[in-house]
Structure 1
Amino acid sequence: MPVEFLTSEQKDQYGQFTVEPSPEQLAKYFLFDDHDRSLIFRHRGQHNRLGFAIQLGTLRFLGTFLSDPTEVPVNVYQYVAKQLNIDIGDLACYRDGESRWDHTSEICKAFGYTYFNDQPIHWKLVRWLYTRAWLSTERPSILFDITTARCVDQKIILPGVTILERLISQVRDRANLMLWKKLSHLPNSEQRNRLENILKPDSQHRQSVLDLLRRSPTNPSVSGLLKAIERLKVIRSLGAQNWNLSHIPIGRIRMLARYASMAMEQVFSTMARGANRKDEKTRLRTIRDLDSAARKLGEACSLLLDENVSATDLRKIIFSKIPKNDLESSVQTVASLTKPQGQTVAFDELFRNYSTVRRYLPKLMETLQFYANSAGQSAVRIWEFLAASESKSGKHKYSDAPLDGISPFWRKLVTKDLTNTIDPCGYTFWAIDRMYDALKKHDIYVRDSQHYGDPREQLLQGSAWETARPQILRMLEWPSSAEEALEPLAKELDQAYRKAAERWADNPVVRIESFAGHDRLILSPLDKLEESESVKILRNQVRSLLPRIDLPELILEVDQWTNFTAAFTHISQGDSRMKDLNISSCAILIARSCNIGLDPVVKPSISSLEYDRLTWVEQNYFRTETITKANAALVAYHAPLELAQVWGGGEVASADGLRFVIPVKTIHSGPNPKYFGAGRGVTYYNFTSDQFMGFHGIVIPGTIRDSLYLLEGILEQQTVLQPKEIMTDTAGYSDIIFGLFGLLGYQFSPRIADVGSLRFWRFDPNADYGELNKLAKHRIRKDIIGRYWDDMLRVAGSLKLGTVNSTQLIRTLQRDGKPTMLARVIGELGRIFKTKHLLMVMDDPNYRRKILTQLNRGESRHNLARNVFYGKKGELHQAYREGQEDQLGALGLVVNAIILWNTRYMAIALDALRKEGKTIDEADVQRLSPLGFDHINIVGRYSFHLPKEIEHGALRPLMKIDIK
């Protein structure tokens, strides 16, 4: 049990005045009413009255008495003395006298304060603390702060720091012991033996079964899927899925659990892509034969179309030019080398994998049970028939096979032409194709699966929705009726149309042109915003003043300001700390963010940088949740800085993807030749505020459509920033996203590449919008919005309360390009917000510039991240999703540390320039950026040592000032 979890600095600050109380705090804690004054003035002598008053205010402010009651800030002396009309004198006699001890007892009795060990106060506090520790997973330092605040609130005099620290450690230890005790009673004796056996090292692999189970397959192949199935079987054989965990808090279950996802979808898609690639290679090898056959057929067709050729002699003329045998051969060649219309899979190549599929299919059917909604019932019925056929034999076992929804192309492959019997190979692949398609649409699902579950089951329903409905309406600020909600939206859209129409004649960047009978909006691109000479000069001057620094020292210095490394807590939640843990943490951040591994930062002569120590810290302290908390600390420190506020208030943000090639085998990657060449990779979809700081990031295999993950990043981010307007590129755009953003109270402002191809929507078909009437031809259907209004609110409320994952829900609503009715209605609402956005884009150049500026900030941040992530050619070598998230999260954390360091020193540089007499235009300051890195040495020097003056809070001196 780690008893000591507070730093020496935290202990020194406990129960003491660390800074002067603010005027508001003085008024709250040191302002005395008539009752207070009557007690104060009972005492003789000004020093007793002043000492009594200071002790009373100190107790209210700190929650305890000072060992030396005179060690209070000067402004407290002055405030109390002036209020009581007492001259400030020497209180040494009061400090050394006996009356001060009598005063503490008098104050406690008069104002209802109790001592920490008094009963039943102490017992109630411990019971409250134990309940909190049991239900939550808060680390000890947070529990310490919460307990201190509770003591102050309930007038319990704070004990010594070590007493409270020891109590919290003991209570947390009791809560952990209770958790392990409850968990230990879940398995029976046989299960206990199995659990003990998986801890024993295997003689063959020299690892325990548990170590082997922790490693999921990395190869998206049949062998990888077989390993995943066997892994699942071993885990299920322990019987843990039958344990009743209802009496254990969900927070503790999530803390202990590591969820995994299945690999079936990737295996089939990989197999289909492989078949297509082989087919394409075969087609390329036979392209000459196809060309020759096509030319002969073309020559025959030209004779057929020649009106000068007699119809009676047509066959004779064709065969005289092209022998009949050659023509028949050409027809057969074209038939064999071309695909039927609508065929998306190379069936011949795919069917060669039948024996491979038979290796894993029976085990997969035996292991997983699928469930379906109404749209997926036929796919599950086909799958279950295929599974049942495994136990049958004979040539008629497929005679009653269901063929619901089979396409003509698949029917030709599944049934034999003459006998109309089922071909097992064709039927198997058709069943897999149906399951694969339904899985992507979430029409079929696996219960309790994070990736393949049914998000619709997680929406608020029944009594839970009715109970939460009033609260959600207040939270989202929506009325309960659609009519009341749509009325102001209709007025806003009408005003936007009229405003744009009035300014149409004076707007030189827009015009309407007709193409193929359709009117299209033509929007001229923004002119490049030229930088003034004063901006260039200011940027160069600020840049030249910034101190030169190595990246490791920069991270350590930022930690001195923010103590962000305190967020890295031990995985056991014991908060085990050791000397110079911040140095070890910073070294690991360098190793991960620079993609160089531990070797360059290891220093055998320094205990905090020894290899074993770094490995231990990396394994126990670095994970997604601790990186997220550390990042939140940086954002919280940066947000209120004056220069950061000049750039933005944190209400605006952008989202964009940063691509990384992954050269190692992994199921958590995807192909895209544009970004990854012949290999595979991931997208780090990250979110950047208008203050340049990154506040969230999501790792996406391959390059899946960005809009799927947009809401997830906004809803799940954990920083002090509360962005309300989000910018993206075209990839983040869809009507459904506009609708969901609008429902949740966000403004979606994407940069859309081809505005002219989009539709404009209106409420009133008779309204006259001048030239815009040519565009506004489509009408918003208020009727279906009204019909599904409550369902839309239920979706928005579920997203807001976090009961459903937004990404999985959007996948389900869209169903692979075929939206459900609810998705269509949300998209219908989204058309209102989309049309308002389009009207603003065409009418307000400042709005377009704002979007472009924010997107450029995100792209520039990516440039900085690329320069930090220089090791191993910038390729990500993590095979597991958790490792990818942790490493890219560390990269985002280090980039934010650079931005914070730059922001603070840029502000100092600006102040220095002003002191030298330089006039600085605030508009020029807004054009500055904290994303520069020329003054930062990122490569090669890894010294984790700060000068003494920096360790004690001083800042580095600027470079020599030259304002010429």
Structure 2
Amino acid sequence: MRHMASVERTAYPRFKRTVSSRELHESFTPGPSEVAWAQGKARSAEHVLALVVLLKSYQKLGYCPDLAEVPELVVGHVRGLLGLGEDVAPTHDSARTLRHHRTVVRERLGVVYDQEKAREIAAAAIYEAVQTKDNPADLINVALEELVKARLELPGYTTLDEMAAAIRTKVNEDFFARVVSRMDEVEQVRLLALLRVVAGSRSKFDEVKRPAKAPTVSHLREHLTYLDSLELLGPTVKWLDGVPPGKVEHFAGQAKMLDAAEMSKVGMVKRLALLASLLHMAKVRARDELVTMLCKRMGSVTKKAKEDLEKIRERHRAESERLLAVLGEVLEAAKDAVGFDGESVTLPTSARKRNQVHAECGEAVLGRLEKASGLAKLSEDHELVSAHHGDNYAPLMRRHFRSHRKVLLDLTEVLEMVATSTDDEALRAVEFCQAMRHRGSEWVPVTYTVTDEDGVEKTSTVTAGFASQMWQRILFDKRRPKLINRRHFEVCTLSYLVQELRTGDVAVIGSESYANLHDQLLSWEACRPLVAGYCEQAGLPATAAAFTVALKQQLTAVAAKVDAGYPDNADLTIDAASGKIVLTPRKGKDRRKSAQDLEAEILKRLPEWSLLDVLARTAYWIQWWRHFGPASGSDPKIRDKLARYVLTVFCYGTNAGPAQVARHMRQKVSVHELSLAGNQHITAEKLNMASADVIDMFIQLDVAHVWGDVGKAGIDGSQYDTWENNLLAESHIRYGGFGGLSLRHVSDTYIALFSHFIPCGVWEAVYLFEGLLKNESEVTVDIVHGDTQGQSLPVFGLAHMLGVQLLPRIRNWKDLTFYRVSSTVKYQHIDPLFGDPEKDVINWRLIENHFEDLMRVVLSIREGKLSSAALLRRLGNESRRNRIYQAYRELGRVIRTIVLLRFLSEPGLRESIQAMTNKVEAFHKFSNWLMFASDVLQDNDPVHQEKIIKFNELLANCLIFHTAQDITKVVNDLVDEGWEVDPVDLATVTPYITSKIRRFGTWHLDMEPPEQEAMGRLRMAA
């Protein structure tokens, strides 16, 4: 029996359970011409109403619904606008009248009712999409998009669902058969053995799915063995050749969500194909994890060496001071001997007397040196202190590397690495280390011999040209020509290899996060037809020359404006003589007493809720749970889906876990039921879509009315824009619902969802942008706020190319470089802000020459070809060879300089950035309050960790929405009672209210006397 895909998880248009007043106004309000048209096509009031309702419904849905399906709220809204009485109902006297009405509606809207053609177009679209996509809901959405483009009336949902299922099954079966046909019988048996469960132990199937552990030496060895065991299971690259990567990932995802018993119930061919896909993705993940472990271990070695250097310096500090004292005594003795008068030395004119003075000086100096413990001892002490006087920690790394040496060299031998440019010096150094790893001597020849795969020997000479002078001093010795220090060279090579892997200058074959960037980027030929449309959407010039000119003009204009406005800038002070720059902070505005009184009254009247009740109510209103379900995309087969998913979100969103929630629930629910829903039915992507539903509900609730009411209050849009804590405005009072949410506030709240678990710096910013690109809500985000660490130059460049303003918190602006338009440009007032005119100048030629590279990156991201992890390393680690990094860094210099100039000259911008940062921090605090069971993520699996955070975000969003609704009702009551509610005061009321929420539910103390029984006593055996 086939289970159809739930209509709620697709974009198939349908009437929602709740219709907001904004939606009624925007989607179901007929214009004068539409009313006149309907009155010309129908005679009776009932037919006019029916015709208008059909017209507006078709415009909303894309097909003609049955009038019985139209919500009474919509019918009543249209009836009122037409001036008809309550007794008038939309009806058709006959099937003929209904057909006539549907025909004239289609004619007016210019759409065609041709079900055969619609099925043909839908089938073609689904067949093309199923080559890379697998979720039935996604396939139906692709068909809907093509049908809308073709101006065809949509067929029924069941038709599309059956079509998608049939095509998907046929294509997938072809893929499965192709994969299995490439396996021999032994390989099939080996794969099926993974599902065998031996009594008292787990299957090897579970072992394939396990993530890496902490990057200790023992875990590194264990993970290398793990990768070897995966490789022995079969050549997955050969099996899966020709299967699109997206399909492989989806097949692997299906297998990962099943246990061994469930996999054994799947058909044999499909079972083998799913196992092959899972095995392949496990290999990819294992390589990624091994490289990450290598990077972390070498980072730890470097850190410990630096700590050792600091300890040595501390120990030698007293010795350094003693040597300086000796030097002072020697200088005093020399000055006395030569008669130094404090300014100059006057030596005798005769050679004999000069020699006598020199002799006396030397004798005095030697005497002081001898008194200070002797020349030999002082020389030894000086050599010891000098060895660690600089910042050269390289000699100290070897002692910490020694315990890691074998496993790290084994790792570089197992992983197949390639250089992404013509410079492969680091890889040749790795080859040398492998060739010399079993030598016992510390100094080895720089010439070595290796044997290639064909058995041919080749002789090469290693160089350390990539190494810094710090390393060069300990790698080579003038007394040992043509020899190199093998032990130090191994540490040096792996240190630089890690840097090359992070920048992407070295790639790992068969990896995903460390794959070759150029293999993931779209070609320029594929990008060229997309550039114009993307640039128009992002607000960018579409040619290299125009792009560069626009940037140059923008930086020139902003700098000139700030320079001209400096005399009127009361906050900024620049002392031209000393170069001292001071930006005086402004005092924040105090809340008005009326706002405080309003908030106090609201808090007093707000009802108390249990957290579970809040989740259940929002789930019923918004149906955010509709996105959850099996990986196959079919409708869930669990009983009472809504309740199960509500409990699951509570279980993981509070980080209580299935065991504790099942134990404390009065209703009967098992640990397995909660675990199954959390692990098999819900992914991070589905949680994103659920959160987007909650956010979209805000957008639908009367935002259009806010601007009208604010205008009536005498407040212009720019003022309204500054009230960024606004969740409610006068529209709540006048129009009901939960309207008035600031669009910008929604955007920033949504951005906050992606920053909880992300480390600071470029990682945070890039994942923020990835979140924006995967934004499932209707909110269009054009401003991104981040913390101070988000000031990386390439990230500013990426933000600009994505059409987004990056406005991070700026604390250390004095330490940042302001770049000039050209070396000849000088400014009357603000010139001290800018860097060196000869060095800190924008390289406009670099930006123009690499415009294609800039566009290839953003278009590849948009098309889903480039992983964020691969991009991260290129933007987060400086590379002297990576032209993409260099281009984005140069673009970032332009954009960051513009932002810094605006920051210094626009008090409103500074206030806005601070307000947004405070808001995000408040959201973090609020969501952490909801994770009351534990704020520690126990599971080491990063996928599971991300899901826990997403569960918590969904929980927080639901509570914010529910609180906004309660505030709306309270404010409406206050207005009815005669309160004067000022929108300015209302805008300061925060939705992050915890005092009215019972996180732990309601406890009941039973004081009924227990049954009478003897008190137990433990009896011990004699």
Aligned to 2:402: 354
Specify the alignment match of 1:960 in structure 2.
none
Match of 1:953 in 2: none
Query: Which residue does the alignment assign to 2:326?
Result: 300
Contact 1:3 1:169 in 2 (8 A): no
**Structure-2 residue corresponding to 1:189:** 185
Residues 56-115 of structure 1: per-residue CA shift (max 9 Å, x gap): 8799688999889899959869989999999988999x87xxxx3566788899999999
Per-residue deviation at 1:749?
2.1
1:537-936 correspondence runs (5 A)? 537-602=597-662, 609-642=669-702, 689-690=747-748, 694-697=752-755, 699-700=757-758, 706-707=764-765, 709-763=767-821, 769-776=827-834, 778=837, 779-805=841-867, 808-809=870-871, 811-812=873-874, 815-816=877-878, 820=882, 823-872=885-934, 874-936=935-997
Alpha-carbon distance in 2 for matches of 1:168, 1:805: 28
Q: Deviations over 1:724-760 (max 9, x none)?
A: 1222232111333333323332222233223334444
Give distance in 1, aligned partners of 2:377 and 2:817. Answer: 50
Match of residue 222, structure 1, among 204, 217, 222: 217
Query: C-alpha distance in 1, partners of 2:854/2:62?
Result: 49
Instruction: Name the CA distance, whole Å, in 2 between partners of 1:791 and 1:403.
Output: 32
Greater shift, 118-127 or 352-361, is seen at 118-127
Relative to 1, partners in 2 of residues 1:753 and 1:74: Cα closer, same or farther, differing over 3 Å?
Answer: closer
Distance change (3 Å), C-alpha of 1:634 and 1:484? same
- Structure 1 residues 490 and 744, CA, compared in 2 at 3 Å: closer, same or farther? same
Q: Choose from 200, 204, 212 the match for 1:209.
A: 204
CA distance in structure 2 between the aligned counterparts of 1:750 and 1:75, rounded to whole angstroms: 44
Q: Which whole-Å CA distance do the structure 2 matches of 1:8 and 1:875 have between them?
A: 34
Contact 2:136–2:634 (Cα < 8 Å) also in 1: yes
Correspondence 1:256 to 2:283: no
Whether the 8 Å contact between 2:18 and 2:621 is mirrored in structure 1 is: no
Structure 1, 267-276 or 445-454: larger mean CA deviation: 267-276
Is this contact kept in 2: 1:627–1:893, CA < 8 A?
yes
CA distance in 2 between counterparts of 1:931 and 1:86 reads: 44
Matched residue, 1:504: 566
Distance 2:89 2:532 in 1: 61
Q: Distance in 2 between matches of 1:7 and 1:806?
A: 31
Shift in Å, 1:337: 6.7
Structure 1: distance between partners of 2:594 and 2:83: 56
Equivalent residues of 1:136, 1:251 under 8 A apart: yes
State the 1:550 CA deviation: 1.5
- Asked if 2 retains the 8 angstrom alpha-carbon contact of 1:744 and 1:800, the reply is no
Tell me the CA shift for residue 512 of structure 1. Answer: 0.7
Would you say the 8 A contact 2:797–2:892 is kept in 1? yes
1:225-624 counterparts in 2 under 5 A?
A: 225-243=220-238, 245=240, 247-257=242-252, 258=281, 260=285, 261-267=288-294, 269-270=296-297, 273=300, 277=304, 280=307, 290=316, 293-294=319-320, 296-306=322-332, 307-308=335-336, 311-319=361-369, 321-324=371-374, 328-329=376-377, 332=380, 335-336=383-384, 339-340=387-388, 345=393, 347=395, 350-351=398-399, 353-354=401-402, 356-359=404-407, 361=409, 363-374=410-421, 376-389=423-436, 399-400=447-448, 401-405=461-465, 406-411=467-472, 413-415=474-476, 418-420=479-481, 421-513=483-575, 519-602=579-662, 609-624=669-684
CA 1:861–1:286 in 2, change beyond 3 Å: closer, same or farther? closer
Change in CA separation of 1:337 and 1:352 when aligned onto 2, cut-off 3 Å: farther
Report the CA distance between 1:568 and its aligned residue.
1.4
Matched, 1:137 2:137: no
Q: For 1:122 and 1:797, locate their aligned partners in 2 and report how far apart those are by CA, in whole Å.
A: 32
Structure 2 vs 1, CA of residues 346 and 131 (structure 1 numbering), >3 Å: closer, same or farther? Answer: closer
Q: Cα offset for 1:195?
A: 0.9
Alpha-carbon distance change, 385 to 890 in structure 1, aligned in 2, over 3 angstroms? same
Mapped to 2, the partners of 1:704 and 1:79 lie a distance apart of 52
TM superposition shift of 1:179: 4.7
Percent of aligned positions that are identical: 18
Letter in 2 for 1:924: D
Q: Which moved more, 1:488-497 or 1:634-643?
A: 488-497
Question: Deviation at 1:691?
Answer: 5.3
Q: C-alpha separation between the residues in 1 aligned to 2:469 and 2:105?
A: 87
Does the Cα contact within 8 Å between 2:290 and 2:411 map onto a contact in 1?
no
Paired residue secondary structure (1:262): helix
Distance 1:443 1:8 in 2: 45
Residue 392 and residue 471 in structure 1: after superposition, are their counterparts in 2 closer, same or farther (change >3 A)? farther
Distance 1:436 1:753 in 2: 31
Q: Over aligned residues, Cα RMSD in angstroms?
A: 5.0
Counterpart CA distance in 1 for 2:783 and 2:26 is 36
Aligned partners of 2:599 and 2:989 also within 8 Å: yes
SS in 1 for 2:636: coil
CA displacement at 1:347 relative to structure 2: 3.7
Bigger mean CA offset, 695-704 vs 57-66? 57-66
Cα deviation for residue 135 of structure 1 reads: 5.0
Tell me how many residue pairs correspond in the alignment: 890
Q: Distance in 2 between matches of 1:349 and 1:8?
A: 58
TM-score (norm 2): 0.74
Partners of 1:350 and 1:70 in 2: how far apart?
A: 75
Query: How much does 1:896 deviate?
Result: 1.4
Distance 1:552 1:7, change over 3 A: farther
CA contact (8 A) 2:475 2:485 kept: yes
* 2:144 and 2:154 in contact (8 A); partners too: no
**Which residue identity is paired with 1:384?**
E
Please identify, of 121-130 and 190-199, the stretch whose mean Cα deviation from structure 2 is larger.
Answer: 121-130
Q: Which runs of 5+ in 2 are unaligned?
A: 253-280, 338-359, 449-460, 711-716, 725-744, 1005-1022
CA displacement at 1:214 relative to structure 2: 1.0
Mapping for residues 149-188 of structure 1, pairs under 5 Å: 173=169, 176-188=172-184
Distance 2:64 2:519 in 1: 55
User: Per the alignment, in what secondary structure is the counterpart of residue 696 of structure 1?
Assistant: coil
The one-letter code sitting in structure 2 at the alignment partner of 1:301 is: L
Q: Report the 3-state secondary structure (helix = DSSP H, G, I; strand = E; otherwise coil) of the residue aligned with 2:778.
A: coil
* Amino acid aligned to 1:308: D
In 2, the alpha carbon distance for the partners of 1:433 and 1:152 equals: 54
Distance in 2 of aligned mates of 1:617 and 1:570:
9
Give the letter for the 2:959 counterpart: I
Q: Which amino acid aligns with 1:599?
A: A
Query: SS of the counterpart of 2:784?
Result: strand
Q: Report the counterpart of residue 998 of structure 2 in structure 1.
A: 937
How far did 1:554 drift?
1.1
Amino acid at match of 2:595: V
**Match of residue 196 from structure 2:** 200
Question: Which amino acid letter does the alignment assign opposite residue 233 of structure 1?
Answer: D
Q: Distance in 1 between matches of 2:881 and 2:722?
A: 30
Sort the Cα spacing of 1:538 and 1:328 in 2 relative to 1 into closer, same or farther, 3 A.
farther
Aligned partners of 2:4 and 2:161 also within 8 Å: yes
How far has the Cα of 1:693 moved from its partner?
Answer: 7.0
**Which deviates more from structure 2 when the two are superposed, residues 909-918 or residues 265-274?**
265-274
CA contact (8 A) 2:30 2:78 kept: no
Q: Can you list the C-alpha shifts for 1:20-51, whole angstroms capped at 9, x where unaligned?
A: 9879658599969999978x89xxxx799889
